Amino acid sequence: MLINIVKIFLPTAFAFFLGFLLTPIATYFFYKYKMWKKYSRNTDTSSLDFHKIHNEKEELKTPRIGGIIIWVSALLTTLVFYLISILFPSSITEKMNFLSRNQTIIPFFTLLLGSLVGLWDDLIQIYGNGKFARDDKSWRRWKAFLVILISFFIGFWFFYKLGLTEIHIPFGGEIYLGIFIIPFFIIVALATFSGGVIDGLDGLSGGVFASIFAAYSIIAYANNQIDLASFSGVIAGVILAFLWFNIPPARFYMGETGIMGLTITLATFAFLTDSVLILPIIALPLVITSGSVILQIFSKKLRGGKRLLKLAPIHHHFEAIGWPSYKVTMRFWILSVIFAIIGIILTIISR
């Protein structure tokens, strides 16, 4: 048991310090090459509330691809422990390697692929021209299609390679889905990705995602999925390193290269730990954030343009009614920790 705990905490700590050391280097290049958005969101809305809380100067001078630090550090940490086990074989180094076919190979490549697609999106908005550079609706549909495409291949692997055909119903056994596990995973991945709109305040997304991935590390450990627990811990550790530099005033934003990779990877963790139906509780801040946008859209369409909230996502609503941004962020952090704990408890006792 002690070696398993070390196997989780050692890579997690290594990932944190690696991310911490890489950040100044990355930040230098972010600012040298002016890797921030070319167009402000102020051009896309006439809401007075939005203009009151939105700092256009800050948005157009803050790099938006800070998520690179997260996935590069996480993947490098994984490869370092893998290469050590190959180059210096021993019972200890082989035990410390957490890259395995049945547990971590899928989330490893999911994080890589999702992050690269997200990086492409960021670079279009940094250096591109035209409507795609403005992140218009047509480009958002393309992004959703790319998420569906990635999710299809992951679901395909789950079904045909890992033989995943059932999902656990908390306190109620299993439900057989068979090949329909593939479209179900696509739906969950899209829903999780939609929660990425939480990346709207300095430090908000980092604190929330750190809590969620830490929770899945504990859940995987409880399932005796030690490799998966290690990888989830590594991601949580790197996010904390990212958060160190992302708290107000943020040196950079997470961007799509962080959000897309993390959200799709989160969906894979939910399926691999057989806790997908508890994911909405563990990731409740993402659900609330995404849900607030959906409710706002429906309210405008069904109520003749009337808004349910002053602004959506909901964190901007709280800003609009007078909450300081740091207060919104810290309260979301608290909620994230509380519901992550509740999700852990429900997952463990519902087996």
**In this predicted model, what pLDDT tens digit does every residue of 184-194 receive, in sequence order?**
999 999 999 99
Average pLDDT for residues 87-95, to the nearest whole number?
A: 94
pLDDT at 135: 67
User: What residues does each domain of the chain span?
Assistant: 2-349
pLDDT, tens digit, for every residue of 112-125?
999 999 999 999 88
Please state, in angstroms and rounded to a whole number, the distance separating the CA atoms of residues 180 and 76. Answer: 34
pLDDT at 61: 81
Residue 187 CA: distances (Å) to CA of 114, 122, 149, 176, 347: 16, 24, 12, 17, 21
| Residues forming beta bridges with residue 167, ordered by sequence position | 175
Please state, in angstroms and rounded to a whole number, the distance separating the CA atoms of residues 152 and 36. Answer: 31
Hey, what are 199's tokens?
Answer: 């990346």
Taking the model in full, what pTM does it have?
Answer: 0.94
% of the chain at pLDDT higher than 90: 74
HEC-encoded secondary structure of the chain: CHHHHHHHHHHHHHHHHHHHHHHHHHHHHHHHCCCCCCCCHHHHCCCHHHHHHCCHHHHCCCCCCCHHHHHHHHHHHHHHHHHHHHHCCCHHHHHHCCCCCCCCHHHHHHHHHHHHHHHHHHHHHHHCCCCHHHCCHHHHHHHHHHHHHHHHHHHHHHHHCCCCCEEEECCCEEEECHHHHHHHHHHHHHHHHHHHHHCCCCCHHHHHHHHHHHHHHHHHHHCCCHHHHHHHHHHHHHHHHHHHHHCCCCCCCCHHHHHHHHHHHHHHHHHHCCCHHHHHHHCHHHHHHHHHHHHHHHHHHHCCCCCCCCCCCHHHHHHHCCCCHHHHHHHHHHHHHHHHHHHHHHHHHCC
Residue 51 pLDDT > 60: no
Nearest to 189 by CA among 109, 257, 279: 279
Hey, what are 274's tokens?
Answer: 């057989």
Please answer whether residues 299 and 306 qualify as being in contact, where contact means their C-beta atoms are separated by less than 8 angstroms: yes
pLDDT range class, residue 302, cuts 50, 70, 90: confident
